[in-house]
Amino acid sequence: MISKIAMPFNTKIESQAHGNEQAIYINIQNIITKITDTRKSKLISDAIEFAIKAHEGQLRKGTSIPYVIHPLRVGLILSELGCSDEVVIAGVLHDTIEDTGTTHEEIEQLFGSNVAFLVQGASEPDKSDTWENRKTHTIEYLKTAPKDVLFVSCADKIDNNRETDRHLLEVGEEHWKAFKRPREQQKWYYESLAKVFISRIDDDVTNKLFKQFEQELKNVYG
Low-confidence ranges of the chain (pLDDT < 50): 1-18
d(CA 90, CA 3): 20
Q: Which of 14, 85, 98, 214 is catalytic?
A: 98
Is 163 in the active site? no
The pLDDT value recorded for residue 19 is 54
* Rg of the chain, C-alpha, whole Å: 17
Is 98 in the active site? yes
The pLDDT value recorded for residue 12 is 39
pTM: 0.90
Domain 11-221 part of CATH 3.40.190.10 = no
d(CA 97, CA 95): 6
| 152 close to 81: Cβ distance less than 8 angstroms | no
Identity of residue 185: Q
Non-local CB neighbours of 203 within 8 Å, separated by 6+ positions: none
The pLDDT value recorded for residue 15 is 37
Q: Which of 99, 108, 124, 165 is catalytic?
A: 99
Instruction: Give the domain ranges of the chain.
Output: 11-221
